[in-house]
Amino acid sequence: MPKKHAKQASPCFVFNNFFAKNIGLKTGGSYMNDPSLARFLCAELTRGYFLEHNEAKYTERRERVYTCMRIPRELEKLMIFGFFLCLDAFLYVFTLLPLRVLLALLHLFTMPCCGLRGSLLLQPAQVCDIFKGLIMVLCYSMMHYVDYSMMYHLIRGQSVIKLYIIYNMLEVADRLFSSFGQDILDALYWTATEPKERKRDSIGVIPHFIMAVFYVFLHAILIMVQASTLNVAFNSHNKSLLTIMMSNNFVEIKGSVFKKFEKNNLFQMSNSDIKERFTNYVLLLIVCLRNMEQFSWNPDHLWVLLPDVFMVIASEIAVDIIKHAFITKFNEITADVYSEYRASLAFDLVSSRQKNACTDYSDSVARRMGFIPLPLAVLLIRVVMSSVNVQGALSYSCLLLFYLGMVTLKVLNSIVLLGKSCVYVKRANMEDKLFERPSTAAPGKTPSRTRKTSRCTSHTAYPASIRHLVTLNYSFFLAIPACQTQPQASTELKHRTPKKDLLDVDRFTICGNRID
């Protein structure tokens, strides 16, 4: 039997057959008789498609576009609110902390050496204030031995590439210092105020105090080197270093956009961006002060610096917007998450203003954002005192008026922040967390563990009088009568359930610690 050879179809035949079945039939079968190139081009130009057959897909794409368009507005709302939170904690060091230290010292020298019935001579908050004041004074005295001008000329003599590498290393070192510095300060505060009846398992107050002083001093020197590098970039003739430093911000987009992010991680990044932006503003202020002092406070030189200042600020804002827009796009996170982050920061502020709060507000901001105001304050005082010559009664009078103005700004900023925070907390349905009772210990846990948890938690149980005061606080800032606010709050607290995502976010900080 002869072999039957299978007939292989040519590519042209396959194309004509497919085209006739799929396109020619739709044109009334006319293509069956005319399989030409003109007919193919005509079909390509006149064929249609129906987007409504995949409505969910294209609706999702449109929502992503709208989310990217909303990101700049929502992100800047969070950044502005976080900026004023950092400003409040920063002004606290210059305005209220000296007054608190004076009151603590006055209480120390006027009270007898032993308290009545074995009570403490100083309250824990007063002990912490005295240690903060001592750290500020000692670090400021040590900063006098660091010559800013010599450091500036030493950095100016380096090459551009070397300065670019140094600046990147300084940014990494600043984050490491910020993450570990608050732990050092917290260890000092707890060692100094730990109950005496407990068994001491620490190395003592004095070693912790020495560690805290050296930390603040080294961190202040690190920020001074950053300010000097930025000052060299401003004063360079070809502006090449400033351009390279600004392009470094865009490299940050590459390192963060294409990573997997969840809400908690994005919250940590947002807090880090708030802290970084506020620190850059203070560095720019230091650079302007040093340049104005070198040019004998000539106002014409300020107009030379302003374009570079605005360029640095604009690049920082643009990088943050692009970074957050694409992170939310790739990870399918809505723009409403930034309002949750803002409510979480507002909750920290409101809870720290309560009567029996476990921590000061500036410390809670440091834990949440990684912003430690002490080193930055020491450096700013050092730069201002070396740039401004204070002599005579008139100069001291102007200095006193400037201090009173800072106190006024601090008080007004705190009042506005507290009012806005009450609005954000109420809008996020988080009032019930303010009065949340500490959870009872499980049967397997020891009483000491339960006692420790009840001391450290920030959501302690309050009597009805304090509840009423907080309710009055809400009614004051929300312009709601107290007689209407109290029954509504009592009914809402029974039936309102908190948001799970917001509660999960609230348990995280920039340093990786948890708020139990």
3-state secondary structure 297-345: CCHHHHHHHHHHHHHHHHHHHHHHHHHHHHHHHHCCCCCCHHHHHHHHH
Q: Which of 244, 258, 259, 87 is nearest to 167 (CA)?
A: 244
Map tokens 């908690």 to a residue.
264
Question: Please, which residues have CB within 8 angstroms of residue 146's CB and are 6 or more apart in sequence?
Answer: 221, 224
Most confident region among 168-172, 363-367, 404-408 by mean pLDDT: 404-408
Q: Does residue 454 have a pLDDT over 50?
A: no
Mean pLDDT of all residues in 239-252: 71
CA distance 507 to 324: 22
Contact (Cβ atoms closer than 8 angstroms) between residue 245 and residue 167:
yes
Q: Which residues of 199-225 are buried (b: 16+ CB within 10 A; e: fewer)?
A: eeeeeeeeebbeebbebbbebbbbbbb
Q: What percent of the chain has pLDDT over 70?
A: 70
Angle at 221 between CA 219 and CA 225, to 5 degrees: 115
pLDDT band at 137 (very low <50, low <70, confident <90, very high): very high
Confidence of residue 487 (pLDDT cuts 50, 70, 90): very low
473 vs 211, higher pLDDT: 211
The span from the first CA to the last CA of the chain, in angstroms, equals 88
Whether residue 28 is predicted with pLDDT greater than 60 in this model: the reply is: no
Q: Please say if the pLDDT value at position 237 is more than 90.
A: no
- So what's the pLDDT on residue 470? 44
Alpha carbon dihedral 13, 18, 19, 23, in 10-degree steps, equals 160
Backbone phi, then psi, for 508, in 5-degree steps?
A: -115, 150
Residue pair 278/223 in contact by the 8 Å Cβ criterion: no
Q: Which DSSP symbol is given to 137? A: H
Average pLDDT, integer, range 265-291 = 91
Give the three-class secondary structure for 200: coil
Contacts of 257 (CB under 8 A, 6+ apart): 323, 326, 327, 330
Q: Are 341 and 273 in contact (CB under 8 A)?
A: no
**From CA 417, how far away is CA 413, in angstroms rounded?**
6
Given this model, what pLDDT does residue 33 score? 56
> Could you give phi then psi for residue 514, rounded to 5 degrees?
-115, 145
Give the integer Cα–Cα distance in Å for 270 and 94: 26
Which of 17-31, 240-254, 320-334, 421-435 has the largest mean confidence? 320-334
24-28, 120-124, 380-384: segment of lowest average pLDDT: 24-28
Going by C-alpha positions, the residue among 354, 348, 371 that lies closest to residue 91 is 371
**Looking at residue 230, what is its pLDDT?**
86
Section 106-127 average pLDDT: 69
Cα 177-179-182 angle, rounded to 5 deg: 90
Which pLDDT belongs to residue 338? 93
Report residue 212's pLDDT band, with 50, 70 and 90 as the boundaries.
very high
Inter-residue contact 280 to 79 (CB < 8 Å): no
> For residue 162, what pLDDT is reported?
80
pLDDT bracket for residue 511 (50, 70, 90): very low
Q: Which of 85-99, 164-178, 209-223 has the lowest mean pLDDT?
A: 164-178
Local structure of 190: helix, strand or coil:
helix
Residues 414, 361 contacting (CB under 8 angstroms): no
Q: For residue 95, what are the β-bridge partners?
A: none
Distances (CA, A) of 300 to 9, 282, 289, 292, 303: 84, 22, 14, 10, 6
Minimum mean pLDDT range among 75-79, 105-109, 163-167, 470-474? 470-474
Give me the pLDDT at residue 361, please.
65
Cβ neighbours, 10 Å, residue 34: 10
- Looking at residue 297, its pLDDT comes to 85
With cut-offs at 50, 70 and 90, classify the pLDDT of residue 142: very high
- The answer to whether the beta carbons of residues 84 and 415 sit under 8 Å apart is no
Task: Using DSSP, state whether 498 is helix, strand or coil.
Answer: coil
Q: What is the mean pLDDT of residues 222-233?
A: 89
217 pLDDT above the threshold of 90? yes
- Owner of token pair 């009772």: 437
The pTM (predicted TM-score) of the whole model is: 0.75
Residue pair 89/361 in contact by the 8 Å Cβ criterion: yes
Quick check: 268 and 510 in contact, CB under 8 A? yes
Lowest mean pLDDT among 19-23, 35-39, 430-434: 19-23
Q: Where does residue 314 rank: exposed (0-12), middle (13-18), buried (19+ CB within 10 A)?
A: exposed
Q: Are 350 and 422 in contact (CB under 8 A)?
A: yes
pLDDT mean over 444-448: 41
Instruction: Using the predicted structure, report yes or no on whether residue 412 has a pLDDT greater than 90.
Output: yes
pLDDT averaged over every residue in the chain: 75
Other Cβ atoms closer than 10 A to 299: 8
Region 72-101: mean pLDDT is 92
**Helices and strands in the chain, H and E counts:** 20, 0
Residues 402-420 as b/e (b if ≥16 CB within 10 A, e otherwise) read eeeeeeeebeebbeebbbb
